[in-house]
Copies of this chain bind each other. A is one copy, B any other.
Amino acid sequence: MTREEKEAYMREALTLAKACPASGDVPVGCVVVSDGRIVGRGRNMREANASATAHAEILAIEDACRTLKSRTLRGASVFVTLEPCPMCAGAIMLARADNIYIGALDFVSGACGSRLNLFDWGIAPAPKIEYGILKGECARLLSDFFEEMRKNRGS
C-alpha cells in the first residue's frame, strides 16, 4: 500500500472521529480495509451509546465482520486515529487482522507499544504495526477536544 493510500484511509477514519465531539465522545475513528475497499467503519460512541465497549475499533471490526459475514478478518488492515487500548488491541488480535495503521500514540493506555504491547505474549500471530499516519491531524483533533472540555468546565 502506498503512503497516499494509507493517508486516504486514515483520512476516512479522521472524518468518522470528527463526529464524536457532538455526542461528547473523545474523537477516535477507525476503518477496516479488505481487498482494497473499506468494509468496516466505527467511531468512539461510548457516550452516544452509553456502552463501555463502544470504542471505534470494536464498532469497525463488528461492522467488518457483518460485511464479510466472517468472525475473522484475515488479510485486513485496521486504520485508527489513536493507538488501540488493550480491549481493542485484543479484538484486533481475535479478528486476526494483518496490519494496524495508527495515527496518534497513547502513552496512557496504548496497547500496541506505547504503554504495553499486547502482541509481545505470542498469544496469536502479531499484526504488522505502523505508527504516525497523519499523526499531527490525529493528535490535534484530540488535544482540541480536551482543550475545549477544559474551557467548558472552567466557564
Known contacts A71-B46, A115-B123, A53 near B86 by CB under 8 Å: no
0/1 per residue, A78-122, Cβ < 8 Å to B? 000000011111110111100000000000110100011010010
CB closest residue in chain B, given A89: B86
CA distance A65 to B65 in the complex (A): 23
Q: Find chain B residues with CB under 8 A from A52 CB.
A: 61-62, 65, 71-73, 91, 94-96
At the interface, yes or no: A70 with Cβ under 8 Å from chain B?
yes
Binding site for B on A (CB under 8 A): 46-47, 49-55, 58, 61-62, 65-66, 69-73, 85-91, 93-96, 108-109, 111, 115-116, 118, 121, 123-124
